[in-house]
Every structure is written in C-alpha cells, then in structure tokens.
C-alpha cells in the first residue's frame, strides 16, 4: 500500500509564505534555502548539529553545505517532488532555534557580545 504524496505548493505560495514568515529564506532551483553566517568552524559545527537534531526529530532531512564560516540549509520534500508544508514547518523551527538569543528574554544572559572567544553565529 502506497501513501499519498504531500501537496506541493506553487512557487507563488512558497514565495509569499517565505516573505511573510521567513524573510531570510529564499526559493531557488526548487529548494527553499538559508545561509547562516558563523564566526568560526566551531559555530559552523554548532549550526550543523542543531539543524541535524531538529531534522532527525522531525524525520525530514535537509541538504547541508558548509564551510569555515557559513552553513547553507536546503529543504525540499523529495517524495512530493516539491516544496510542502513539511519544508516550511521545519525551516521555521530551524530559524527559531538557530537564531534564538537568550539574552533577549531577560532571564538567560546569552553569550558575551563582542568577545570572539564565545561568539559563534552572526545574527541577522
């Protein structure tokens, strides 16, 4: 018994949703993509591990490309051959977690600003 494919979204639907919800993500070559800038290899690995954890928990796996100071995350639902709500939902969770800044909620102080020994991601 085969499972039905998820509904793919049109390019216009994806572009509109991204502009309203995830403006740093873009639709390109059939994938939704986001590049995170980091301050070092340590930060790059932290972003990769975060994305990996979220993807495994969601059972929806992105393609990841990385270099010393950046990570690109690409999402598409291969079984649907396009972008589905799964991609948008996982992208939103990735964005929330990777760009969470504890110092902004008033309880947790977050990493020291301006000290590269502790810096790992370049926040937008």
Distance between CA 49 and CA 70 in Å, rounded?
13
Where in the chain are the domains?
11-98
pTM: predicted TM-score of the whole model, two decimal places: 0.90
**What's the angle, vertex CA 123, arms to CA 33 and CA 26, rounded to 5?**
20
Answer yes or no: is pLDDT of 1 > 50: no
| pLDDT, tens digit, 9 for 90 and up, residues 15-56 | 999 999 999 999 999 999 999 999 999 999 999 999 999 999
User: Whats the size of the chain, residue-wise?
Assistant: 124
Given a contact cutoff of 8 angstroms between Cβ atoms, the answer to whether 50 and 97 are in contact is: yes
CA atoms in the 13 A half-sphere facing the CB of 51 = 25
CATH number for 11-98 (one of 3.40.1390.10, 3.40.640.10, 3.40.630.10, 3.30.1360.20): it is: 3.30.1360.20
Given a contact cutoff of 8 angstroms between Cβ atoms, the answer to whether 33 and 74 are in contact is: yes
């Amino acid at each position: 018994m085969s499972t039905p494919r998820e509904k793919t979204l049109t390019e216009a639907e994806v572009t509109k949703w991204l502009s309203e919800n995830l403006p740093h993500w873009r639709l390109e070559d059939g994938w939704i993509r986001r590049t995170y800038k980091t301050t070092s290899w340590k930060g790059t690995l932290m972003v990769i591990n975060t994305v990996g954890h979220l993807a495994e928990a969601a059972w929806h796996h992105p393609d990841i490309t990385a270099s010393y100071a950046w990570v690109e995350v690409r999402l598409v639902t291969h079984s649907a051959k396009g972008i589905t709500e799964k991609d948008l939902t996982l992208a939103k969770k990735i964005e929330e977690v990777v760009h969470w800044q504890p110092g902004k909620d008033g309880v947790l102080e977050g990493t020291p600003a301006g000290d590269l020994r502790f810096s790992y991601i370049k926040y937008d």
